[in-house]
Chains A and B, each alone.
Chain A
Amino acid sequence: MVHRGACAMHIPDGYLDPYWCIATYAVTIGFAILAFKKVSKKLTPEQITAITVLAAAIFVAQMLNWPIPGGTSLHFVGGALAGILFGPWLGFFVLALVVSTQAIVFHDGGITTLGANILNMGIIDVLVGYGVYKLVTRIMGNTRRARLIGAFLGGWLGITLAGTMAGIEIGLSPSFPYGIKITVPVMAGWHALLGIIEGIITALVVDQLYQRRSSLVYVAQKQAIPTHA
C-alpha cells in the first residue's frame, strides 16, 4: 500500500513544539475572527456556494500529487488562487476549509499542527498571492497580460513564503533537531523551485476563468466583499 502521508506543506503531529502549536493556533483563530467580522454582514449565499466550489476544486487538485524521481512530489496548493479570486478574507476560508477537511477526514497533516498548516497555506499563501496580484495589476493595468504575470508571481511568491514559514516553524521546534539555519534555506529553496509550477498553474487557471467569464469570477466580482487586506 502506498502511504501517501503528509505533503511537504502539511506538517504532521509531533513535528512542532507545543508552544508553536498554541501560537500558530492563536494567530489562525485571531485571523479567522477578523476575516469573519470583515465578511459576515456582506456575505451572500451565492458567495458561500462559490467559495465552497473553489475549495472542492482545490481539494481535488491537491490530490494530484506528481511524484518526482528521487522520492518527493509536488502538487498545486491553491492559496494564491483563492486570494486572487476572492480576496484575503474569503480566500482564507477557502483554504481553511480545504486544510481542515484534509486533516480531520483524511489525517493529512496533524491536528495539533492544523493551526500552523492553515497559517501557512490559508493566511500567508493567500495574502501574498492576493497582494502581489493586486500590485501587478495596479501597475500594469487590468489587462490579460497583467493578470497572467500577477497570478504567476503571486502563486510563486505565495508558495515560496508559505514554505519558508513552515521551515521557520519546524526549525524553531526543539523536537526537530535541525535549526532554522538549515530548515529555512531548504524549505525556501525547495518551494521557490516548486513555486514555478504553482505560479504557472495559478496564472493559467485565473486566465481561463476570466476568459470564460466563469461563475466563480462573476460571483467574486459582482458581489465583491471588500478585497483590501
Chain B
Amino acid sequence: MAAEQPLSLYQRYRGAFLVMAVLLIVSPIFGVILAAKIGYHEPLDVAAEKLHLHEENIGDWTPFKDYTFPGLPDTIGYIVAGAIGVAVILGIGILAARLARR
C-alpha cells in the first residue's frame, strides 16, 4: 500500500489562501481609492498635526514604506506590497517549521 503523501501548505490551507487572495485584490479599494476620496488620515496623525507634532524620522529603511512598491502605481503597489508581506510572514513560518523538525 502506498504511503500517504503529506499535504502541501497550499492544500492544507487552501481556503485561507483563497480568502487572502481575494482580500488582497480588493484591498486597494479601501486602502488607496476610498482613502483618497475622503481625504483619510489616521487619528494619531490628525492629533499630531493639530498639536504641530511631526513623526520623528529615524530613517527610511524600507523601499515599501506605507505599502507601496517603487515604480508601481499606488493601487497595484498596494497589492504587491501585501503579497510581499504575506511572503515574508509565511517564509519565516516555513523556516521556523524546518528548524523545529531538526
Contact = CB atoms under 8 A, between A and B. Distances in A.
Main secondary structure of the interface of B (DSSP, over half): helix
A6 B45 CA distance: 8
A67 B40 contact: yes
Contact of B66 (A4, A66, A101, A216): A4
Interface stretch (A23-31, A122-130, A171-179): A171-179
A107 B65 contact: yes
A60 B44 contact: no
A111 B58 contact: yes
Interface residues of A, number: 63
B90 A108 contact: no
A190 B46 CA distance: 14
A175 B55 CA distance: 11
A67 B30 contact: yes
A228 interface: no
> Which of A13, A43, A64, A66 has the most chain B CB atoms inside 10 A of its CB?
A64
Contact of B64 (A12, A44, A105, A190): A105
Interface of B: 9, 12-13, 15-16, 19-20, 23-24, 26-27, 30-32, 34-48, 51, 53-58, 60-62, 64-68, 74, 78, 81-82, 84-86, 88-90, 92-94, 96-98, 100-101
